[in-house]
Chain A
Amino acid sequence: MRWPVTLLFAWVLLALEPVIREALRLGHPSAAPSLVVPLVVFVALFAPVVPSLWTALLVGLMVDLTTLRGGLSSTGLPPTVVIGPHALGFALGAYLVHTVRPMMMRRNPLTVMVLSMIVAALAGVVASAILGARDMLFSGSWSDGSEYRAMSDLLARLLGALYTAGTGLVIGLLLLWAHPLFHFHDSSGRRAFSRRT
């Protein structure tokens, strides 16, 4: 896999993510699609397990690092970043895709679409679980200083996962078109199959 190409796509999609999310957000709790999840799925579909997990981890870390939490005056604590919810969620999602990919038609954009939805839901559950656990475990000066509403956040994430199917299809088409640029070693399912037999 060509890392510069993957990182370039990740950089552009990470930068566009909050803008597009805000533009396409529906209702409150706001269900918004993800742009980076289809990239994580795409890389996990074609790359070996270690690079795909690194990609998921790095993309998730960037999402975590760019999101400030807390800052409520009732707590008196400044806002903070929480590292882990998305990094671990995306990595788990990438591993899931890597596990099921032999059963998938990898070149089909609908595969990226469906897997994006599943990975976004899984990552959402992981992120909600981590943030909810932190909210329950830590209090006072150890807390994140936010009033975490676990159920509404989880609902928003799951609705956002459904919504991610749309962006998954569009970005899946784009990424499959740009597939040769990534230079995946086992980019063809047929080649991988013929090597094994």
Chain B
Amino acid sequence: MPSSRTSLTLAFLLVAGAAAAPRPISSALTHLHVPATVLLAPVQQPARSLLAWLRGPGPGLTADAPSPEVQVLREQRDQYALEVKQLRQQIDELRVLIRDLSRGFDLNPSLAVKQITAPVIGYGADNSGGLLTVRAGRRDGVSVNNVVALRGVHLLGRVVRVDDRTCAVLPLTRMSKGEAVGGVVMLADETIGPRVLLKTHEGGTLRGQVEYLPDPSGVAPPVTIARGMVVRLQDADARWPQSAQMLIIGQIETAEPSPEMPLRTVVTVRPIHEIERASEVMIRIPESGQSAERVGEKGGTP
């Protein structure tokens, strides 16, 4: 018994030491995260799938899509709609590129992305962590800053750590307080509206002030921002990779006048699907040779 007490005391001292250790030591212990997650995956993954099945399709699909076939078709439709939007944006950017090239700038906005589907194998037992562990890693071509989507077109977050077989994903709603994501309010399916700069807000939402682009003619009617409008990512400052552009951030939950500037509108955006409850995600990987994407080229991080 004394030996077991000694070993217990020793274990306590080690754990207490680890708790008080700064990042250089704790990050060395991070290598144990993957074995611990993999150890629990055989039970966790079926349980998560069972729960997803019990819960049924997400709120964006429940209204009139009872059959799986319709659901698949809708997902394909959303996917194609996204590609159309991305192509349109690329056309706009190519126009800008032509203009820039004529001025002597060297830009490379072309992009090809492959998507891989991967199951979420861990959220961590403690909610305060906030990162998802996904079963796709370096061997699948995943790298840091790859964009992660839900149901193909809904922005979930980005990869912040990659191991050989797994990666860690930081959800959009867990960004740091000072970090902003640029989006555009979609006035209709194909009509891009004003820009909005969103920051994390309470309750798993994002909040920001809608910015109106100056109308050169000054005769355009005022745009009404309403609850239910979709907000897509369009980050002019390239804080997010090119492969994330035009992905759906969420729907406007509230739109109210700004307390400081009553003529401006402040919107609260909630992701359509609860991104922290995803059981399967899609990782958007730029084709080889383009892994840096625009984010890397500009030297920033998303």
Contact = CB atoms under 8 A, between A and B. Distances in A.
Contact of A82 (B24, B26, B277): B26
Interface in A1-46: 11-12, 14-19, 21-23, 25, 27-28, 30, 32, 36
Interface in B115-160: 122-131, 133, 144, 160
Interface centre among B12, B37, B126 (most CB of A within 10 A): B126
B178 interface: yes
B5 interface: yes
A77 B23 contact: yes
A68 B127 contact: no
A74 to B, nearest CB: 4
B18 interface: yes
Interface centre among B36, B55, B122, B179 (most CB of A within 10 A): B36
B119 to A, nearest CB: 12
Task: Label chain A's interface by main secondary structure.
Answer: helix
A131 B129 CA distance: 11
A86 B20 CA distance: 13
A130 interface: yes
B47 A61 contact: no
B125 A21 contact: yes
Interface residues of B, number: 60
Interface size band for A: 35 or more
B129 A83 contact: no
A111 B301 CA distance: 51
Given A12-B43, A73-B302, A142-B24, A80 B48 contact: no
A62 interface: yes
Contacts of B44: 15-16, 18-19
A75 B27 CA distance: 15
A89 B11 CA distance: 14
Interface stretch (B98-106, B168-176, B218-226, B259-267): B168-176
Interface of A: 11-12, 14-19, 21-23, 25, 27-28, 30, 32, 36, 50, 53-54, 57, 61-69, 71-88, 91, 127, 130-131, 134, 138, 141-145, 147-148, 153, 156, 160
CB-based closest 8 A-B pairs: A84-B19, A67-B124, A15-B43, A71-B160, A67-B129, A142-B22, A65-B36, A83-B18
